[in-house]
Chain A
Amino acid sequence: MADIRIDAVRKSFGALEALKEVSLDVREAEFVALLGPSGCGKTTLLRIVAGLETQSGGRVLIGGRDVSALPPRARGLAMVFQNYAVFPHLTVADNIGFGLQMTRAPADRIRRQVERAAALMHIEALLTRYSAQLSGGQRQRVAVARALAVEPAVLLMDEPLSNLDALLRLEMRAELKSVLAAAGTTTLYVTHDQTEAMGLADRIAVMHEGRIVQIAPPVEVYRHPRTVFVGGFVGSPPMNFLRLAVTGGAVQLGTLALPAPAGRDGAVMLGIRPEDLALVGPEDGFGFRVQVAEPLGPHILATGEAAGQMMRVAIPPDHPVRAGESLHLRPDPARITWMDPDSGRALGAS
């Protein structure tokens, strides 16, 4: 097992700066998710670690060894690709054993490893089949088994679940988590799906426009986003951001007065998640006018207007609301994140 050290990596495609001085340390046996919207550079970063792209600047170290100039096969890693890349002209068994065959391992060791990896991914029955005879989910398992079979020091995964349907994605996520935890493999995982990142990762590195904007365990990223972007991107539905004026150490949210963060005047952004707003009586909260109510099952998502700004609130399902209704809400003070409206950064963050 090895650690990964990404040291000030830059990447430009002509005039386009895809990665701007990214640094990241992944500890041994740690699972780090690179999370971000398309175009943020997460796949580029992963491919640079893999050796499939050459960085414009900076280094990559794996297990303390500088691999920046080495081809992929010399870096001691394995990878699961977004479209699985299962070789169509080889059987499942030959696919899984491919990496070992390339190292000229003895035949019975290959066979044992293949059987072990296939058992881990529950595809023992498919070993003699070809890719064309497999479903998407089965191909994905073959791709993971192929990576596990070589017992890599580092495992890279490029949105491996994004081409599966929703239910399959859920199942595979749980399976992946248990298999990888048991193997203790250092994993770098790219995804644009924040639920995946939240569910799988020990730490999430949120990326935006070529930079890592926050790296922290999932719960911390969720509760204490460092920027407006992180708060809006992580969590579904996204965090609400209300721009409020500070007067005399307090902000006015409709009829509700809240103490402003210490030493601030001018304007602030109040960040609060839809589920952290409680239904209260008219005296205890601020007014909220419902425009759309969507009963989603676990809660009712009400979109509406408060204090002149749009926001969303999650209401318990046994409290039906209709469009046009007026409610009163109160934010949980422990869950408020204050942000600077100009920089978009959380107050108190460096």
Chain B
Amino acid sequence: MTGRRALYVAGVVVVCAWTVVPIYLLALGALGGSKTVYAWPKPFLPVGFAAENFTAFLHIAGIWPAMLRSVEVALMCMAFSIALGAPAGYALARYAFRGATVYRLVILLTRAFPVGILALPLAVSYVRLGLYDTPLGVALIHTALAMPFAVLISASLFLGIPRELEEAAWVFGCSGAGAFRRIVLPLALPGIAAAAIFAFVISWNEVFAATVLTVRNKTLTAYLLSVLSESPLQTQLAGGLLLILPSVFFIFLVRRYLFAMWGIASR
């Protein structure tokens, strides 16, 4: 291997390490038991797997319910985003209609906007509507965040399924709905699942709106934020790990669709 190539490979490895090592260190601290958390200097290798720290963390009052609430909110966000976004994506992909460009622009606009901030006035409206401090309320603003992605991912997805396939289905005996059900849906399902998972991750990770809109029924992120200053370090680390693991797992699942979310959207 030439020197240049070796340098290049080293660079790639360094960037990979820079990405992964901090997560590893977090896991060390979260799972290492009290020995690791308060040790000085810190050991870089697992000194003993003491899940006790982590399970104790899970038993802290409020963590488990907060986690369940995060799941609940994320699932709702997922369902709403797909229900609203996938049909719109289909329309953008299949039909050249007047206003398509405007609609696409509107969708892009919502991404170039600090949507989380809208939680502030929503807190006021929610109190009046009885949505304050409810998972549904949080899910709604999360849907506003995730739906534009769902639209754009679906649009690129359906564009990738040639119209000819639907036309062939029509010629050979399917109605419009039948062709959609038998031909388009099976082919689109993996991509829609990816969009759904992406919506889930967005909701799971969101902090600002979740914190503003909840008081007693906090999601995991809101809860962790609220106890930031008071809780001991190992609680924070364990919380961080709990936040990261599902997201990283899910991003791994949808890695093939990462480009559809951003690349096509830039058009």
Contacts and interface: CB of A to CB of B under 8 A. Distances in A.
The answer to whether A and B touch in the complex, with CB atoms under 8 Å apart, is yes
Interface of A: 50-52, 71-73, 77-79, 81-83, 85, 87-89, 98-99, 101-103, 146, 150
B169 to A, nearest CB: 8
B172 A102 contact: yes
B187 A88 contact: yes
Contact of B167 (A81, A88, A101, A150): A81
Given A98-B172, A99-B173, A83 B162 contact: yes
B175 A146 contact: no
A78 B186 contact: no
Interface residues of B, number: 16
A52 B171 CA distance: 8
B157 to A, nearest CB: 14
25 contacts: A50-B171, A52-B170, A52-B171, A71-B175, A72-B170, A73-B171, A73-B173, A77-B171, A78-B171, A78-B172, A79-B168, A81-B164, A81-B168, A83-B162, A85-B162, A85-B164, A85-B165, A89-B183, A98-B169, A98-B173, A99-B172, A101-B173, A102-B172, A102-B174, A103-B173
B165 A79 contact: no
A102 B179 CA distance: 10
A166 B204 CA distance: 55
Given A87-B183, A89-B186, A89-B187, A73 B164 contact: no
The 3 A-B pairs of least Cβ separation, nearest first, read A102-B173, A85-B168, A99-B172
A99 B173 CA distance: 6
A146 to B, nearest CB: 7
Given A52-B171, A79-B168, 17 more contacts: A73-B174, A77-B171, A78-B171, A79-B171, A81-B164, A81-B167, A81-B168, A82-B164, A85-B167, A87-B165, A87-B183, A89-B187, A98-B172, A99-B172, A102-B172, A102-B178, A103-B173
A102 B186 CA distance: 17
Nearest to B189: A89
Contacts, number: 56
Nearest to B179: A73
A81 B170 CA distance: 12
Contacts of B162: 83, 85
A71 B183 CA distance: 18
A83 B174 CA distance: 19
A137 B96 CA distance: 32
A158 to B, nearest CB: 9
Nearest to A82: B164
B8 to A, nearest CB: 34
A73 to B, nearest CB: 5
A83 B164 contact: yes
Contacts of B170: 51-52, 71-73
Interface string B154-170: 00000000101101111
Contacts of B164: 81-83, 85
Nearest to B165: A85
A93 to B, nearest CB: 15
A52 B186 contact: no
Interface in B129-184: 162, 164-165, 167-175, 178, 183
A73 B187 contact: no
Nearest to A81: B164
Contacts of B167: 50, 52, 72, 79, 81, 85
A73 B183 contact: no
A6 B162 CA distance: 28
B141 to A, nearest CB: 37
A117 to B, nearest CB: 13
Contacts of B175: 71, 73
B226 to A, nearest CB: 48
Contacts of B168: 79, 81, 85, 87
A326 B175 CA distance: 67
B183 to A, nearest CB: 6
Contacts of B169: 87, 98
Contacts of B165: 85, 87
A87 B165 CA distance: 7
